[in-house]
Structure 1
Amino acid sequence: MKNQCMESDVKLDASLKGFPLAAEPCAVSELGQRRWNLLDDALAYPVAVLRRPALMHNLAWMQDFVQRKGVALAPHGKTTLSPELFRMQLQAGAWGLTFANVHQLRVGLAAGVQRAIIANQLVTDADLDGLDLLLRQQPQARVWFLVDSLAQLAVLADWCQRRGNPRCWDVLLELGIAGYRTGCRTHEQALALAQAMAASPVVRLGGVECYEGGLGQCDSAHDIDAVSALVRSVQALVQQIDAQNLWGGDEILLSAGGSAVFDLVIPMLKTQVKNRSVQGVLRSGCYVTHDHWNYARYLKLVEAREGLSESLQPALEIWTQVQSVPEPGLAILTAGRRDLSFDQCMPMPVRWAPKAQRAGADMAAAPGGWQVKALSDQHAHMVFDAKGVWPQVGDRVALGISHPCTTFDKWRWMAIIEDDGRISGAISTHF
């Protein structure tokens, strides 16, 4: 059976949430030819959409940012797991992509990714077997994954011995933070691990990685101090490894960068070593669609620190319909926990199209005071001021979200729309 990810066009049909049951199936690339408009209720509610002008702005903005900083971009593919968006990111100039596991890597390689970081530890036979298979199928690809313990290094050596496989894995040493996720907790641990890697035939130490996102508190004074301390710690470790000549290649990767305080890790990515070139790799992923709250508030601080007048724009919305106004001050919308993220905050009404509005009219901002207070599996409970503008049954309400990762994984496709509601394309996802 042909790998669907390998195909240039994924088929859209009524088996997919949001695609109209009565419509003829079509390929992703053909959807724009239907001449549908969101305001003509062409799609079934709820429907996830990406606003194309904001999407293209974000792709260009982030690529310009890393180029000005002299580093490379390998955006985290777990945000969207969309081959179409991966290709857009690569076409915009991304150095490679980042993934969380071998399954995600498979989707990326099938989309044309040539350089990839698995920002995670691999410890199971299934993952190592899978990565070995992918690298044999695509020998031109270069893939690094993370190692953070002697125990994991022993697992890799054991796999090579049991499989009779001479594979030498490209790896990055991860320096972690006490109380947070993975990574060596001390320089002593990390240096001992680097020494063991240098002596091992099963790995090639290609650089150092860290993740700073957990340190952010959306307070510039705190975030600068906390992330700068991590940066200095990584820089000191890099210099120690370099002094002992423990690297396994001529080019060293230094990688960090979530989507909240990514500007603060740039000094780490530009650390210099003797007699080797350094490639700094930023891994921010959520920039591609941005959001309406969590990352938006962090980006206001980035703008202030960088002296910017603009930055990223929210591109992802979930369009719903008002299905009931059962009492004054309460409207029930046709989207719930199964359709959008709610792990960081409730979705926010951002646009409103009355039921009589059709293509050609401007989309209005949602009235002030409309607020989603709760979610059921399939419903959003939106409260409003009964003395103000009442939503009517049949009205369309667009919900903005926070944390795009946990909205993308609820959809197998998303429509791409223009600012006037015209549906100009689509993307697929492969979670």
Structure 2
Amino acid sequence: MLKESIFSDFVLNASAKGYPLAAEPCAVSALGQRGWHLLDDALAYPVAVLRRPALAHNLAWMQAFVQRKGVALAPHGKTTMSPELFRMQLQAGAWGLTFANVHQLRVGLAAGAQRAIIANQLVSDADLDGLDHLLNQYPQARVWFLVDSLAQLRTLADWGARRGQPRCWDVLLELGIAGYRTGCRTHEQALVLAQAMAESGVVRLGGVECYEGGLGQCDSDHDIEAVSALVRSVQALVHQIDDQHLWGGEEVLLSAGGSAVFDLVIPMLKTQVKSRPVQGVLRSGCYVTHDHWNYARYLKLVESREGLSASLQPALEVWAQVQSVPEPGLAILSAGRRDLSFDQCMPMPVRWAARGQSGEGAMQATPESWKVKALSDQHAHMVFDAQGVWPKVGDRVALGISHPCTTFDKWRWMAIIEDDGRISGAISTHF
């Protein structure tokens, strides 16, 4: 049963971007009762929406994928930071949730997570104090974080000595990639660290973690070779640790999995050891909404490798209005850098509806020539073929995005819509 929390029914009001200024405040859970429709212009543009049928499909698809592979799913919560979506993921069967820091963990535990991985190193007093507080507040929860150096291990011991606390932390040893992010760079470093962990009394070494996403180049031959080399490296380290009896828990957690080449780490997650059971944990997070470009192109390769005809569906769109057509071939839309991802590519016009149209068939695929070429803080500069269909002032345009993580953090809430545009609910975010 999910724990009651301060996030159980977030109240929307006019302070939230996209919510109607003249409307009465409304709990997220009751928004569907308002009878609003995306195209009746009740909401202020721009407005971020999640297509409910695509959400439901993605939740079911990823859970079926991990079950078929014999591993568990702890989706990365940093993608959405939405308690409502966390609950959907847990109810769909997720083993736990993943976070990048203690602030994010707080939201996940309040949403009902009983297991969590902080896929990051903790080194500050504030973070350790915060995690200690949360573990006292949620005594049934298990939380693992990453350790990758003797210096960090000494920091943990120093915190305990200064606080007079007997806390023994659950941790995963991170094996990294040269030139990339965190993690031990060699097996020698990792094994020395594992030995020190086993002797410290400050931590329980629960398993090994890595992150393969930085190796992906959206070239299947390259990605298979690069990720497989990392997988073999982790497997060798896991067997070394097992041979020396350095584990501190009753089972071994092996965790990896971004959102691009997640299928390629499954062999690592299924590594077996002699001394105890193994639980493989995949951490992909962007699957819940997917996207319209970056992960979409990686997913085509996943589908090819897995022999699938279709898999995830894009669920996230930001709808804007055409507010000016100042010259032939250029339309200015009412959404910009403050509203949309642009770190990987420009937003993509995917659907549109003419001003005043809201019935069946009002939403259409955008003409091929409509493309966003630039963003200002509050505007999208959309070019189009002046010999083709012209967007008109007041028309509504749905912008697809790449990299959902950097769209979610621009919104305090998002409307959930049906395929016909009816608003059936909402989610809140807590960045």
**TM-score (normalizing by structure 2):** 0.99
1:318 to partner: Cα distance: 0.1
**Equivalences for 1:229-268 in 2 at 5 Å?**
229-268=229-268
1:363 to partner: Cα distance: 1.3
Checking the alignment, whether the CA contact within 8 Å between 1:50 and 1:415 is kept in structure 2 is: yes
Checking the alignment, whether the CA contact within 8 Å between 1:82 and 1:429 is kept in structure 2 is: yes
Matching residue's letter, 2:59: L
Q: Residue 147 of structure 2 corresponds to which residue in structure 1?
A: 147
Tell me whether 1:178 sits opposite 2:178 in the alignment.
yes
- Identity level (%): 87
Q: Residue 164 of structure 1 corresponds to which residue in structure 2?
A: 164
Q: Residue 355 of structure 1 corresponds to which residue in structure 2?
A: 355
1:333 to partner: Cα distance: 0.1
CA distance in 2 between counterparts of 1:176 and 1:314 reads 31
**Equivalences for 1:278-289 in 2 at 5 Å?**
278-289=278-289
Tell me whether 1:222 sits opposite 2:222 in the alignment.
yes
CA distance in 2 between counterparts of 1:421 and 1:260 reads 29
CA distance in 2 between counterparts of 1:379 and 1:157 reads 51
Tell me whether 1:89 sits opposite 2:83 in the alignment.
no
1:8 to partner: Cα distance: 1.5
1:87 to partner: Cα distance: 0.1
Residues 187-217 of structure 1 show CA distances to partners (whole Å, capped at 9, x for unaligned) of 0000000000000111000000000000000
Matching residue's letter, 1:318: V
Tell me whether 1:201 sits opposite 2:201 in the alignment.
yes
**Secondary structure of 2:393's match?**
coil
Residues 78-135 of structure 1 show CA distances to partners (whole Å, capped at 9, x for unaligned) of 0000000000000000000000000000000000000000000000000000000000
**Secondary structure of 1:29's match?**
helix
**Secondary structure of 1:274's match?**
coil
- Structure 2 stretches of 5 or more lacking a match? none
Q: Residue 126 of structure 1 corresponds to which residue in structure 2?
A: 126
CA distance in 2 between counterparts of 1:62 and 1:21 reads 38
Q: Residue 368 of structure 1 corresponds to which residue in structure 2?
A: 368
**Secondary structure of 1:63's match?**
helix
Q: Residue 56 of structure 2 corresponds to which residue in structure 1?
A: 56
1:12 to partner: Cα distance: 0.4
1:249 to partner: Cα distance: 1.1
Question: Which piece of structure 1 moves more, 374-383 or 352-361?
Answer: 352-361
**Secondary structure of 2:211's match?**
coil
Q: Residue 65 of structure 1 corresponds to which residue in structure 2?
A: 65
Q: Residue 293 of structure 1 corresponds to which residue in structure 2?
A: 293
- Structure 1 stretches of 5 or more lacking a match? none
**Secondary structure of 1:389's match?**
coil
CA distance in 2 between counterparts of 1:113 and 1:342 reads 31
CA distance in 2 between counterparts of 1:134 and 1:75 reads 20
Q: Residue 25 of structure 1 corresponds to which residue in structure 2?
A: 25
Residues 305-346 of structure 1 show CA distances to partners (whole Å, capped at 9, x for unaligned) of 000011100000000000000000000000000001000000
Checking the alignment, whether the CA contact within 8 Å between 1:359 and 1:421 is kept in structure 2 is: no
Q: Residue 36 of structure 1 corresponds to which residue in structure 2?
A: 36
CA distance in 2 between counterparts of 1:356 and 1:410 reads 28
Question: Which piece of structure 1 moves more, 268-277 or 351-360?
Answer: 351-360
Checking the alignment, whether the CA contact within 8 Å between 1:123 and 1:155 is kept in structure 2 is: yes
Matching residue's letter, 1:29: S
CA distance in 2 between counterparts of 1:408 and 1:232 reads 35
CA distance in 2 between counterparts of 1:375 and 1:341 reads 10
CA distance in 2 between counterparts of 1:93 and 1:112 reads 13
Tell me whether 1:328 sits opposite 2:328 in the alignment.
yes
Tell me whether 1:389 sits opposite 2:399 in the alignment.
no
CA distance in 2 between counterparts of 1:71 and 1:269 reads 7
Q: Residue 408 of structure 1 corresponds to which residue in structure 2?
A: 408
**Secondary structure of 2:105's match?**
helix
1:362 to partner: Cα distance: 4.2
Matching residue's letter, 1:386: A
Matching residue's letter, 1:160: G
1:253 to partner: Cα distance: 0.2
Checking the alignment, whether the CA contact within 8 Å between 2:354 and 2:362 is kept in structure 1 is: no
Q: Residue 212 of structure 1 corresponds to which residue in structure 2?
A: 212
**Secondary structure of 2:267's match?**
helix
Q: Residue 77 of structure 2 corresponds to which residue in structure 1?
A: 77
CA distance in 2 between counterparts of 1:147 and 1:139 reads 22
Matching residue's letter, 2:165: N
Query: What is the aligned length?
Result: 429
Checking the alignment, whether the CA contact within 8 Å between 1:37 and 1:359 is kept in structure 2 is: no
CA distance in 1 between counterparts of 2:397 and 2:7 reads 34
Q: Residue 111 of structure 1 corresponds to which residue in structure 2?
A: 111
Checking the alignment, whether the CA contact within 8 Å between 2:28 and 2:427 is kept in structure 1 is: yes
CA distance in 1 between counterparts of 2:189 and 2:299 reads 34
CA distance in 1 between counterparts of 2:102 and 2:359 reads 43
Question: Which piece of structure 1 moves more, 5-14 or 132-141?
Answer: 5-14
Matching residue's letter, 2:256: A
Q: Residue 14 of structure 1 corresponds to which residue in structure 2?
A: 14
